[in-house]
Amino acid sequence: MAQNPPPPASKPPQKKPDALAPMRTPRFWITLAILFVANILISNVLFSAGQPPTVTISYNSFLDQVNAGNVASITSTGESITGVAKQPVKDSSGTSSTKFQTQRPSFANDDLQAMLQQHNVVINAKDPNASTPLWETLLFSFGPTILLVLGFLYLSRRAASAGAGGILGSFGQSRARLYDAERPSVSFADVAGIDEVKADLQEVVDFLREPQKYQRLGGTMPKGVLLIGAPGTGKTLLARAVAGEAKVPFFSIAASEFVEAIVGVGASRVRDLFTKARAAAPAIIFIDELDAIGRSRSAGVRLGGNDEQEQTLNQILTEMDGFDSREGVIVLAATNRADVLDPALLRPGRFDRRITVQAPDRPGRAAILRIHTRNVPLAADVDLDQIAQQTPGMVGADLKNLVNEAALGAARKGETAVTLADFTDAIERILLGTQRKIILTPADRERIAYHESGHALLGLIVPGADPVKKVTIVPRGQALGVTLQSPVDDRFNYGEDYLRARMVGALGGRAAEKLVYGVVTTGAENDLMQVTRIAQQMVVRWGMSPKVGPLNYAEPDGNPFQQRPYGDGTANLIDEEVRRISEECLADAEKLLSEHRKQLDALAQSLLKNDSLDEGQILDVTGIKPSAVAAAKPTDAQLVKAPST
């Protein structure tokens, strides 16, 4: 059960140092840098501290100083002379000092000794071949190194005594971020659109709060819960919400942070993470992007037996087998590639509960928009349900970005509240791209207008097609013109008639160009990519070809070395069927546009005049009334993407 906070006068509870104390890595590196600087100072500065500099003078200047009585003493090492002057002497650069050095030429025949004795100069001499004392050699050669090693050992002992495992052991420390259980930043109130997933995770929260409720009947909580879903659906948010609701320590780490270039570091970090979680139990471990280390060990060729990723995966498997669910440690993980995970991770006793996080439906999107607009001032004309209808296929991250783009657009205009027009502009910016300021010739604008009119007109007259929301010949993103179609409702099943309607609509631009100009251009590249993808999936995945039959020839994901599950004859047949379906759809598009040539010309001329037309304007120009019975459309992003030139 969740504990009540202590009264103000009571002593705050002590945290467990082993579980919650972070690694003091910055302090270690600062100390190491100080030792390095000290090493340089000792080697280069300390032995010469307090000594005046030595200047180099010519031999003539030296003789002048001796004759002037300014030399107190000299030391001769062979022909090299160093000495001390009574008054500072200057070298050729103007530097002055009482210490000097010079070199006596080998051809000099002066009586230097008599001159020095005449001016009472103390004469010293050194053996030029004398050996350096052993202590001095050791001090200058090994002293700095010994100092550095001693400092290294000292820091290593301090780190080990603090539980950090030494300096080398710091690489094996888990880099998981610990969120404060007393101040959760996320709860189930911050999650919307996936109520069925929240219901499944509520059981995990109840177990962490009241484990006796489940244990009294002999039941045990699953050790691992795997969240599967597309990017942006809210998997990480759900995991943090579970920790926030249960009010327990939450260790969060990305799977890629386990792996390092040093073999064995990943396994060491896994051990450290589970050790900290057990010490802080009840606790939650969250591993994001599990597929980074959890890929199947038989999926590809391993080069060598000491693969770091495989060792890390083996350690995770061992740790999840090694703790009891009654310890109160639950492992949550998230991935969008569950098909490539190792089967050992998914067996009972490890990640034995798998929860699929789907994209939200229309009511779910409206609920998500309400959460993200809680701190955004909205104008009176904003209808979040209407915005949710215009954003099929968007997930939580997309909707958050939509609200942010709308708020930024309103701020640029100097508005005090975000209006419906700001949301509409944001949707167009996200789906269609940013407007480009390029100058098109009249001939290019007319060709683009007919191309987009072909898309829009077929979206009105083809049975089962998605309603056309907007058509524009203003360049956006990488397209010179865009036709935006949006489904009426959310569905997750695909009919063959709908797929053919999508292909006919996508080929409308190419068919219009051929009908009007007799030639085609490169503007249909993206349209042809969509048509090819849909036709191939119809034949290979969904068995919608009578010749190929009700078979699924899709290649399995995650194994690039596995051969295709059919021979060359079947491959040729698949290619023929894909081409047949595409050509039939193109013929249908050309036929329909020929029958409605008058509406095509009217729509193109209106586009040339206005640049953009919305749904109502399109219906007024063409005179076509929408069907009273419109089939619901799926929202798969791969199939509903608006065709563009």
Say if residue 233 is exposed, middle or buried (CB neighbours under 10 Å; 0-12, 13-18, 19+). Answer: buried
Residue 452 designated active-site: yes
Nearest alpha-carbon partner for 228 in 317, 337, 365: 337
Tracing tokens 């065709």 back to the chain, one arrives at 643
Q: Which of 308, 319, 446, 452 is catalytic?
A: 452
Contacts of 59 (CB under 8 A, 6+ apart): 102, 103, 104, 105, 108
Contacts of 568 (CB under 8 A, 6+ apart): none
| Helices of type H across 230-307 | 235-246, 265-279, 291-294
What whole-number distance in Å separates Cα of residue 15 and Cα of residue 54? 62
Sheet architecture: strand order including 80-90: 54-56, 96-103, 80-90, 71-77, 122-125
Question: Which strand (E) or helix (H) includes residue 457?
Answer: helix 442-461
Nearest alpha-carbon partner for 335 in 259, 227, 196: 227
One-letter amino acid identity for 603?
A: L
What whole-number distance in Å separates Cα of residue 392 and Cα of residue 499? 17
What whole-number distance in Å separates Cα of residue 192 and Cα of residue 361? 11
Nearest alpha-carbon partner for 225 in 348, 395, 358, 360: 348
What whole-number distance in Å separates Cα of residue 66 and Cα of residue 117? 10
Q: Where are the beta strands (DSSP E) in 63-117?
A: 71-77, 80-90, 96-103
Supply the residues annotated as catalytic. Answer: 452
